[in-house]
Amino acid sequence: MMTHRFGDHGDDVGLLQRRLIRAGFSVEVTHLYDAATESAVIALQKKTGLVDDGVAGPKTLAALATGRRDPKHLSLADLVAAADKLGVPLASVRAVNEVESSGSGFLLDGRPKILFERHIFWKRLQARGIDPAPIAAKYPNICSQTPGGYQGGSAEYTRLATAELIDPVAAYESASWGAFQVMGYHWQRLGYSSVDEFVACMENSEADQLDAFVRFVAADAGLLSALKGRRWAAFAKGYNGPDYARNLYDAKLAQAWLKYAGADKAAA
């Protein structure tokens, strides 16, 4: 299912515009995702309780079809609560949600998005007293001292399932979970009673996935300070690692914050 945003064009945009018209929104079928289309999408998102970012992705299209938000999907109220917990402006959380989240925390089959990290599995097996070397020799795609082996999407669950047969705790700890891709091995530091509880929360809703992100930031004084001070390069480096600049995370965060800060000021 495609995602469309301001400036996109094509037959799929025309189809979106026709669906918006049928739902009672005043747009024209121009096949261009113009300002009127973006405004209609934002109005739909506000009406159904979704995050009103003006981007028509799977969650927005589902709400357009049903007239309501799926309870598993993130709401604007969830972002407001996260901003309050972290003590930062709503615009900061909205910016992070736009740039750092994967747009949706779930696959189309309803399972949370994951990415299995084979080099982390090596380390977590060692931490649990298991020699990873013979496992790596047999299963190099799921256990290695170097990152890689990614297959993406639902295929990551095939890798996870193989790792579970070796050690389920280390397997869950070695995947990043949900919209914000929080690593499982952080479960104890973030206040979960077990990795199983962490995974159950990731399976429950995007609001729970956002809560894991909030806990992750709150547990790191430097990261929280960077977010509060809107030091986007420091925040992006702390959250994404030293390669953050390659993907322009800091520039994207700064740009998104300006957009949402302006929108929040206009709405006040």
DSSP string for 50-79? B---S-B-HHHHHHHHHSS--TTS-BHHHH
Q: Spell out the domain ranges in the chain.
A: 1-70
pTM of the model: 0.84
At 2, is the pLDDT very low, low, confident or very high (cuts 50, 70, 90)?
Answer: confident
- Please compute the mean of the pLDDT values over residues 176-190 and round it to a whole number: 96
- Cross-strand partners of 182: 177
DSSP SS3 for 183: strand
pLDDT tens per residue, range 35-83: 999 999 999 999 999 999 889 988 899 899 888 888 899 999 999 999 9
Contact (Cβ atoms closer than 8 angstroms) between residue 137 and residue 80: no
Contact (Cβ atoms closer than 8 angstroms) between residue 10 and residue 31: yes
- Please compute the mean of the pLDDT values over residues 230-238 and round it to a whole number: 94
CA distance 122 to 51: 38
Say yes or no to pLDDT of 1 above 80: no
Say yes or no to pLDDT of 268 above 60: no
Q: What is the pLDDT of residue 114?
A: 96
CA distance 71 to 83: 20
Q: Which amino acid is at 234?
A: A
CATH class as words, domain 1-70? mainly alpha
Mean pLDDT for all residues in the chain: 93
Q: Phi then psi for 120, rounded to 5 degrees? A: -70, -35
CA distance 122 to 167: 11
* DSSP 8-state class, residue 176: E
CA nearest to 175, candidates 119, 253, 130, 213: 119
Q: Which tokens go with 17? A: 């515009």
What percent of the chain has pLDDT above 70? Answer: 97
pLDDT tens per residue, range 192-217: 999 999 999 999 999 999 999 999 99
pLDDT tens per residue, range 80-107: 999 999 999 999 999 999 898 877 899 9
Contact (Cβ atoms closer than 8 angstroms) between residue 241 and residue 250: no
- Please compute the mean of the pLDDT values over residues 228-233 and round it to a whole number: 96
